[in-house]
Amino acid sequence: MPMTMTEKILAQHASRTDVSPGDLIGVKVDLAMANDITAPLAIAVFNEIGKQPVFDPNRIALIPDHFVPNKDIESAAQAKLMREFANHHQIHHYYEVGQSGIEHVLLPEKGLVIPGDLVIGADSHTCTYGALGAFSTGVGSTDLGVILATGKTWLKVPPTIKIEYEGSLLPWVRGKDLILYTLGTLGVDGANYCALEFSGSVIKELPMAQRFTMTNMAIEAGAKNGIIEPDEVTLAFVAERSHRTPLVCTSDPGADYEKVIKIVVDTIEPQIALPHSPANVRPLSKVPHISLDQVFIGSCTNGYLEDLREAATILKGRKVAKGIRLIVIPGSQLIYSEAIEQGIIKTLIDAGAVIGPPCCGPCLGGHLGILAEGERALSTSNRNFVGRMGHPKSEVYLASPAIASASAVAGYIAGPGEL
């Protein structure tokens, strides 16, 4: 029977010839992942099970990235617990501060995910790895604790919504704008427990960093996973980072989709998500004069080298507006190092930015940029819920690095053309 690429990956990991939406299946996990917030809870469940050792120390990734370098005693204790667990079980893919970064940037960078993999992470944005043609999704820490012991989990096969992007992008429109526009179209529950399959000629032209941004935010529409068919761009990215043989799955002609949505991108402007939802989206031209207190460039959506490079291009020879705090956090230690070598970091510092160590930073209201009551921030991150980056009476707006950089100079939400 014809299947979508998501269904093919799930069938392969369930040792079945085919699956259909709604099927309950048991699957083998290629990679299990947790961070310094979710790992301690998963470890507690693992210890309750009483099974020793872990299912495979080479197929587990533990990444301290949310509250590191540790911001307080409690976060230090969580990181210590994860570190000791990794040492005790000889977890190969444990990356300490100084070699690490944001989990969803780091795992593809290290070649730990390739096309055809099934990845389960105790973090909702695990769907990021679908950009590589993998099935990846987030679960709770309880489920992850069981996976640490067994290497298996159960899933309900999701129906697939296919989104086809065609046309030509306007200047300064990037993958972040496409996914924000899509969220504005679907709403925050428009893809509940569905696979979002991103396709079309526009997607094929996007570099990997922008593809990661799009699949990362599939969860903001309620999707189980986001996925993009592997192509030459994908395989070149993987070949530089992994010696494993990818399993390239493509959707069959005649595969059954929940729906197919066609989006012509020719007139899509840079998009802004207003408080307090990633789906509360307006084109830049329809956004009123909104003054800002803080701009954040980074996170698992836009902490890539090309994001920092684009920011530096706009900020070169310019200064951050008086009263604006510009916080830039590279997505990984490697990205940080390359940005230094290419002069990007100096350009950002000369413009008035402060550079943070590779981590999630203020994205989840963790640290390195908490908002006070009444403050407004423009962020390249993926969520702007009430209190997401600090005080419940603060406001968070979402946009691309290009818009964030221009806004830092203008002092209000603005595009590069206004400079």
- pLDDT per residue over 282-321, tens digit each? 999 999 999 999 999 999 999 999 999 999 999 999 999 9
Identify which of 161, 154, 235 has the alpha carbon closest to the alpha carbon of residue 193: 161
CA gap 181, 249 in Å, rounded: 27
pLDDT score at 163: 98
Query: What range does the domain containing 176 cover?
Result: 5-262
CA gap 241, 58 in Å, rounded: 16
pLDDT score at 374: 97
Residues 324 and 404 in one domain: yes
Q: What is the mean pLDDT of residues 339-360?
A: 97
Residues 106 and 137 in one domain: yes
Residues 190 and 110 in one domain: yes
Residue 301 lies in a domain: yes
Residue 146 clears pLDDT 90, i.e. is over it: yes
3-class secondary-structure state, position 320: coil
pLDDT score at 300: 97
195-199/225-228 β-pairing: parallel
Residues 217 and 350 in one domain: no
Residues 27 and 175 in one domain: yes
Over residues 40-67, the pLDDT tens digits come to: 999 999 999 987 899 999 999 999 999 9
245 burial type by CB count under 10 A (0-12 exposed, 13-18 middle, 19+ buried): exposed
Distance between the two ends of the chain, CA-based, in angstroms? Answer: 55
CA gap 199, 197 in Å, rounded: 6
Residues 381 and 247 in one domain: no
pLDDT score at 48: 95
Q: Domain boundary residue among 221, 238, 262?
A: 262
Query: Average pLDDT over the chain, rounded to whole?
Result: 97
Q: What is the mean pLDDT of residues 154-176?
A: 98
Residue 419 lies in a domain: no
Residue 346 lies in a domain: yes
Residues 303 and 189 in one domain: no
Domain count, the chain: 2
pLDDT score at 366: 84
Over residues 371-388, the pLDDT tens digits come to: 999 999 999 999 999 999
Token duo for residue 154: 């159960």
Are 271 and 281 in contact by the 8 Å Cβ rule? The answer is yes
pLDDT score at 52: 87
Residues 187 and 278 in one domain: no
Taking CA atoms, 365 is separated from 283, 387, 398, 401, in Å, by 26, 8, 15, 19
Over residues 97-138, the pLDDT tens digits come to: 999 999 999 999 999 999 999 999 999 999 999 999 999 999
Residue 51 lies in a domain: yes
CA-atom Rg of the chain in angstroms: 20
Residues 211 and 147 in one domain: yes
Over residues 195-252, the pLDDT tens digits come to: 999 999 999 999 999 999 999 999 999 999 999 999 999 999 999 999 999 999 999 9
Residues 81 and 20 in one domain: yes
Q: Domain boundary residue among 244, 262, 280?
A: 262
Residue 141 lies in a domain: yes
CATH code of residue 197? 3.30.499.10
Residue 180 lies in a domain: yes
Q: Domain boundary residue among 262, 285, 311?
A: 262
- Residue 269 CB-half CA count within 13 A: 15
Identify which of 130, 33, 112, 105 has the alpha carbon closest to the alpha carbon of residue 334: 105
pTM, entire model: 0.97
Residues 106 and 236 in one domain: yes
The residues, any chain, with a CB within 8 Å of residue 260's CB and separated by 6 or more, are: 161, 162, 163, 164
Residues 129 and 28 in one domain: yes
CA gap 354, 309 in Å, rounded: 15
